Amino acid sequence: MLKKEDIMHIAQLARIGLKEEEIEKYQRELSLVLDYFKKLEAVDTENIESIGHITGSHSVVRDDKIIECEAKIIEEIINNFPDQKNNQVKVKSILT
Amino acid sequence: MIRQLHENLKSGKVTSVELTQKYFDEIDEKDKNILAYLTLHKEEALAEAQRIDDKIKKGEEIDLLSGIPMALKDNMCVQGGRTTAASKILDNYIAPYDATVVKKLKKQGAVILGKTNMDEFAMGSSTENSAYQKTKNPHDLNRVPGGTSGGSAAAVAGGLAVYALGSDTGGSVRQPASFCGVVGLKPTYGRVSRHGLIAMASSFDQIGPVTQTVEDAAIVLSRIAGRDKKDATSAKSGGKLYEDYLQGDIRGMKIGVPKEYFSDDLSSEIKEISIKALEKFKKLGAELVEINIPHNEYALPVYYITVPSEISSNMARFDGIRYGLSVDDQEQSKIGGGNLLETYLDSREIGLGTEVKRRIMLGTYALSAGYYDAYYKKAQKVRRLLKQDFEKAFESVDLIFSPTAPEPAFKIGEKTTDLLQMYLSDIYTVTANLVGVPAISFPIGTVEREGKNLPIGGQLMGRWFGEEELLNAAHTFEIN
């Protein structure tokens, strides 16, 4: 079973705020699913490479060219900013 | 169905405006019970219908999809329209651009009626995880429509759209199609551009049609498929018209029946219906071949490790900074400084639902230092073994058959408390996404529950980029 500290650590990594009462719920639920995953230990994967792109395409690149964005799209992107100043997205201070 | 409506439009038997209005009337009347739609695009839909009617009047050629009313799952962007993915965190999000599929449909003159309900961010199996409403199965309003494209499937089954688009990460088009008695197609990974589809698990997600007939699925696929510069994983394809491959003849075709899919775990009634379907395929001239998928039992654990891992990464963009809900309330904050970290923590805590948070947590754990090799890497190795199983199987067969789901539509609330039971609903569908092959669900029978006939779907899986064969087989089954 995952420890309380494990859940708090994962939540911090995932940037999800947790209420005290949720911690125990996650301990139970995540442990249950992780136990289920143990099934995979039975599979011999010695010398098996982990899979990349499923249909085998690789290294898809585009020309290094600037493609201008339509003004209307720019405007709508800015409209979606929760907070903005001079058409820039405004964020809170990182250090307090 | 689409072809018939197209003929009716061309001959003037009905106008697109009349047809569109008829669908909005049906929605007004029935959707208060079914709850398939989250947003309606009435004004834009009627304007587009009018434009198509004008074209017809002028004698211009129109495409098969022109003027035909359809619905989109609410995780596909329509420029200027609200796109929520059924999450509170995107409650106020207005898409700045069209998804590639939407762009393609608009070019064909499709009439977009509105956006359909889904499990939040396409995580779930019943559409009960929507932050807005619980869609009901039109065959029995006490039951779920399946998920995650439950709104799309319920809309098509309930006569609230001619067809719809859904997205399928582990069965999200096929399982609701099975539960609602309609056709659901998941194309080969890369067949359809994912640009403008709100990402869940990027190496699994595919957009696919939910339709009333297999021919309709072929018609829609032809018009949404193709390489897209904006999706590097999209595959080249030569502008095929899949509807031209529906010969209605499957003589000599080899259909694989994996032993593992018909074990004692499968209920006798679903097994019976599946066997009947197989007998029908045989009668139509197909050859049934027993095959093995040795790593099949590992498909679900592999799926539920890799998908949450990709989710935890994809969902990082919902951070309260660039769009969507941003919680900026000093009282909400636990530390009381109102800094950037708190915006992240609080916006995600309040904006995201339980299943979404659970999967982010699970994926974050599977990818975290010290556990990556044991979970994610191990799962990606087993995923390769599964793919090899399929490559081997397709050396001796053309298609693989299974039930779509282990049961008919279940009751609302029946599985919300049992996590693993809910995950088990995907047991037959996740594999196609894990290995990337195309798969289709189509009605093969019904079972009775409390006096109501509930649909059962059968699933065919085909070779990578072998949609022609797959659609032809399902079509031949359907018309006979």
pLDDT tens per residue across span B101-134: 999 999 999 999 999 999 999 999 999 999 999 9
Chain A residues in contact with B313 (beta carbon < 8 A): none
* Total of domains in chain B: 1
User: Within a 10 A sphere around the Cβ of B158, how many other Cβ atoms?
Assistant: 23
Nearest to A51 among B323, B339, B387 (CB): B387
**Is B354 near chain A, with CB under 8 Å?**
no
Interface contact flag, A51 B383, Cβ < 8 Å: yes
Distances (CA, A) of A95 to B228, B331, B337, B342: 42, 19, 10, 11
- Give the pLDDT confidence score for residue B329 in this predicted structure: 56
Chain A residues in contact with B362 (beta carbon < 8 A): 30, 33-34
User: Please, which residues 1-30 of chain A have a Cβ atom closer than 8 Å to chain B?
Assistant: 6-7, 10-11, 13-19, 26, 29-30
Interface contact flag, B435 A54, Cβ < 8 Å: yes
pLDDT tens per residue across span B55-101: 999 999 999 999 999 999 999 999 999 999 999 999 999 999 999 99
- Give the pLDDT confidence score for residue B337 in this predicted structure: 54
Q: What is the dihedral of CA A4, A8, A11, A16, to 10 degrees?
A: 110
Nearest to B419 among A29, A43, A48 (CB): A29
Structural Rg of chain B based on CA atoms? 22
- Give the pLDDT confidence score for residue B313 in this predicted structure: 97
Interface contact flag, B360 A57, Cβ < 8 Å: no
Contact indicator for B286, B257 with CB cutoff of 8 Å: no
Q: Comparing A91 with B4, which gets the higher pLDDT?
A: B4
What is the Cα B72 distance to its own chain's centre? 10
Chain B residues in contact with A95 (beta carbon < 8 A): 339
* CATH code, domain carrying B144: 3.90.1300.10
ipTM for the complex? 0.94
- Give the pLDDT confidence score for residue B264 in this predicted structure: 81
Interface contact flag, B301 A40, Cβ < 8 Å: yes
Nearest to B340 among A19, A41, A92 (CB): A92
pLDDT tens per residue across span A4-37: 999 999 999 999 999 999 999 999 999 999 999 9
DSSP state for residue A3 in the 8-state scheme: -
Give the mean model confidence (pLDDT) for residues B380-407. Answer: 97
Chain A residues in contact with B340 (beta carbon < 8 A): 91-94
Which residues lie closer than 8 Å to A91 by C-beta, 6 or more apart?
Answer: A83, B321, B340, B343
User: Please, which residues 72-91 of chain A have a Cβ atom closer than 8 Å to chain B?
Assistant: 73, 76-77, 79-83, 89, 91
State yes or no: pLDDT of B419 exceeds 90: no
State yes or no: pLDDT of B334 exceeds 60: no
pLDDT tens per residue across span A34-62: 999 999 999 999 999 999 888 877 788 88
**Is A63 near chain B, with CB under 8 Å?**
no
- Give the pLDDT confidence score for residue A91 in this predicted structure: 86
Interface contact flag, B384 A48, Cβ < 8 Å: yes
State yes or no: pLDDT of B330 exceeds 60: no
Interface contact flag, A15 B341, Cβ < 8 Å: yes
- Give the pLDDT confidence score for residue A60 in this predicted structure: 85
Range of the domain at B248: 1-480
pLDDT tens per residue across span B274-310: 999 999 999 999 999 999 999 999 999 999 999 999 9
What is the maximal distance between C-alpha atoms in chain A? 58
